[in-house]
Amino acid sequence: MKSVFFSTILAIAGALVSANDAFKNVVPKETKKPIPDHNPINVIKYTADPGVMVYDDTVYVYGTNDGITEIMDENPESNDYALIHTINVMSSKDLVNWVDHGTIPSAGKDGAAKWAQNSWAPTAAHKKINGKEKFFLYFANSGNGIGVLTSDSPTGPFEDPIGDYLISHDTPNCADITWLFDPAVFVDDDGSAYIYFGGGVPGEYDNHPLYKDAPLFERPRTLRVAKLGDDMISLATEPVLLDAPWPYEDSGIHKADGIYYYTYCTSWNAKSPFGAARIGMMASKNPLGPFEFVDTIFNNPGDFFVVTGNNHHTVIPFHDKWYIFYHSEWLNLQNFGEAKGYRTTHVNELPYVDGKFLNATGTLEGVPQLFNVDAFETQTAALMAWEAGCSTNGLGHTTVTYQKGEWSGVSGVDFAEGADAIEIVAQSKNGAVIQVSIDSVEGEVLGYVEIPASDKMETVFAEIAPVKGVKNVFFLASDEVTVDTWEFGHTDDYYLG
C-alpha cells in the first residue's frame, strides 16, 4: 500500500462505536440515478454534445458544460447557451465507472482561446507528432467557426496554438454555411486526419435573401469535410461539400471494415422522411466522400426519455463492440420538474450485425460493465458510477468533496479472495468520518474511516469487516471532507505500532 507525500494516521477498529455515532443524524442525500442504472454517465455535471476519443484503452468524453449540478438553483432559468465557454472532460475504462477530470477553461477571458466567446460541441483526437503523443480539442465558437486547442495530456491543460479560428466563414467554400459548428475529427490508420463540420438551413432562421420564403430543408448544402494538415492545426485541403439529405447539425465520423460512415442529426422539418432530429448515416469508401445515405441509427432522445430535444452523438468502437454516446434532458426533468435545456451524456450499444449498423436504443440501464475495478490498486475518489451531492476539484487529477450526507458509489469492485483494511487519502478542516458500505449507501457497513481535522491531505488506515468477491462499494460522509484516493488491502500490510 502506498503512502508517499502524505503523513500517515492509523485509525483502529476500536473506534468503530464512536464512528458509528457520527452517522446517527446523517441522512444519505437522494440521488436521481438509481443504483442499477448506468445512464446518465455523470450526474455531477450537465455535459452535452459528447465528443469521444479512445486513447490508451480508455474512453475520454468531452462535452459542452451546461452546468454543475451542486451549485445550480433548485429552479434555474433555462439554459443560456450563449454563456457557455468551458468543456467538461471525463474518462472510463469500463464504461460504467467514470472519472470526472474537471472542466477545461476553453474560451472567454479566462480560457485558452481568448478570442472565442463560446466553446460548444467539442471533439478530440490524438496523434504522434515528432515522436510525441499530442492531443487536440476542437470546438465551435457559437455558429461562427471552429477553434482548436492542444495539450500533452488528454485532460489538459490545453493551450491555443494558433490564436484564431482554424475554420471560419472566410475559409474557402465556407461562406455559405449557416451554422459553422459541430466539428468531428477522424484520424485514419495511415495517420491522415479529416474534419467534418457545419449545419443549419438557409432561410429557416437567417432571413436569407434567396430562401427566406422557401428554406432549403431537403438539401441545404451546409456540411463540409476537409483533410487536416499533418500538424492537426491546419487544413491540407480546401473544405468540400458533404451533400447529406435533410441535415440539420451534429457531424460524426467512424470507420468499420474499410467503410467510412458519416453520421449527422437530421432535420426537424415535418416533411423529412427520416423523422424529427434522428441520427442519419451515410457511407463511402473515401473519407472525403462522396457519401451515400444508408439509414438512421438512433431516434431522437425524446423517444426514450420523454423530452424531445436536439440530438448530438459520437460513435466509437471499444473492445469489439460499437457504442453510441448522446445526450438527453432526462436529468434536468428529474431535478427541476421540467425541461430547461440542461443535458447529460448517456451511452448505449450500437448493434453491428453482418456488416450493418442497426438502430440503437436509448436506456437508463446503459451498458454492462466491461471490467471490474481492482480493489487493491490505488483508485481516484473521482471514479464513480453513482453519487449524490458531491463535487470534484481541479483539472486532470481531481479530488472529491463531500458535505454531510453526500456520497459516491463504485460499481463492480473486485476484492478477489478478500480484504480487511482500507487506506484513504483525505483532508477535513474540522474532522469527518467516512462510512464504507457495500450493495448500497445504506447497505452492509464494512467499517468507518476517521479523518482527523487537518489543513492538508492525510493518509488514513482503518480495519474493516472482511469482504471478498465483486461488490458495489459506497462512501458516505458525516461532515465536509475532501478525498483524493482510496485502496483496499490487508491488515498485515500495515505497521500498527
Q: Which of 249, 329, 387, 423 is catalytic?
A: 249
DSSP E strands in 223-269: the ranges are 223-227, 240-241, 247-256, 259-266
Round to whole Å and give the CA distance between 443 and 421: 18
Give the start-end residues of each E strand in 239-333.
Answer: 240-241, 247-256, 259-266, 279-284, 292-298, 313-318, 321-328
Distances in whole angstroms, Cα of residue 385 to Cα of each of 153, 177, 286: 24, 40, 39
Beta strands in 14-131 (DSSP E): 45-55, 58-68, 86-92, 98-105, 120-129
Rounded Cα gap, residues 53 and 316, in angstroms? 8
The HSE-up count of residue 231 (CA atoms within 13 Å, CB side) is 10
Distance between CA 26 and CA 21 in Å, rounded? 10
DSSP three-state, residue 232: coil
Judge whether 80 counts as a catalytic residue: no
Residue 182 falls in the annotated catalytic set? no
What span, in angstroms and rounded, lies between the C-alpha atoms of 120 and 88? 11
In eight-state DSSP terms, residue 107 is: B
Distance set, CA 404 to CA 5, 390, 423, 425, 432 (Å) = 27, 10, 21, 18, 9
230, containing H or E segment: none
Q: Which three cell numbers stand for residue 408?
A: 459516491
Helix (H, G, I), strand (E, B) or coil at 68: strand
Position 336: which residue type?
F
**Of 314, 363, 304, 388, nearest in space to 38 by CA:** 363
Amino acid (one-letter) located at 75: N
Cα–Cα nearest to 422, from 411, 406, 433, 407: 433
User: Catalytic residue positions?
Assistant: 49, 249
